[in-house]
Amino acid sequence: MAKKFKFRLDPLLKLKSHKVERAKEMLSEVSHLLYLKEDEHIKNLAYLDDMLRTGKQSGNVLQMQAVAYHNSFVRSQIEKLHKEIEKLKEIENIRRMQLNKAMQEEKVLTKLREKKEHNHAQEVLKEDNAFMDEISILRGTRRDGDR
Give pLDDT tens digits for 24-35.
999 999 999 999
| Mean per-residue pLDDT, 47-56 | 83
C-alpha span between 58 and 64 (Å, rounded): 8
Confidence (pLDDT) at 113: 93
pLDDT confidence tier of residue 145, bands split at 50, 70 and 90: low
The model's pTM:
0.75
Q: Could you tell me the CA-to-CA distances from 131 to 52, 128, 135, 136, 145 in Å, in that order?
A: 89, 5, 6, 9, 21
Q: Are 127 and 2 in contact (CB under 8 A)?
A: yes
* Amino acid 24: pLDDT: 97
